[in-house]
Amino acid sequence: MTAMSETQQDSIGRIEVAPEVLATIAHFATLRVDGVAKMAPVPADVARMFRKATKHDGILLNIVDDKIHLDIYVIMDPEANIMEASQSLQTAVAEAIDTMVGIPVEAVNIHVEDVLYTQNEAA
């Protein structure tokens, strides 16, 4: 993935960012969002469908026509408003990638796989 703005057109070379770097940025941005308890694994059937995608601890990253598409699998805190937390998560991840590498994100799909209750809360 190449990051280059119009003002950098006359640079002396290229800057390439590995997809794993983008997935790592998304991972850490995800864990900073209130309401996210932890990452969930990417389901095996989904991972098989997207064999060429970059997978990283709950993140499935696809780059199609130089456009970034992320699927993020999370487990939420029980007191979180899932809709608000998911929207905050979408914004946080898109902004983190755009800010750090200057590449706009086309889609951030959030998959809430579970809610993390402690044994005392479930009783």
Confidence (pLDDT) at 88: 98
Tens digits of pLDDT across the chain (123 residues) = 655 554 545 778 988 889 999 999 999 999 999 999 999 999 888 877 777 777 888 999 998 888 899 999 999 999 999 999 999 999 999 999 999 998 889 999 999 999 998 766 555
- Asked if the structure places residue 3 within a domain, the reply is no
Domain of residue 53 covers: 37-118
The owner of tokens 């487990």 is 75
The continuous run of DSSP H or E covering 112 comes out as: strand 105-115
Number of domains composing the chain: 1
Asked if the structure places residue 79 within a domain, the reply is yes
CATH of the domain at 112: 3.30.70
Report the predicted TM-score, pTM, of the whole model to 2 decimal places.
0.83
> Using CA atoms, how far apart are residues 92 and 115, in angstroms rounded to an integer?
20
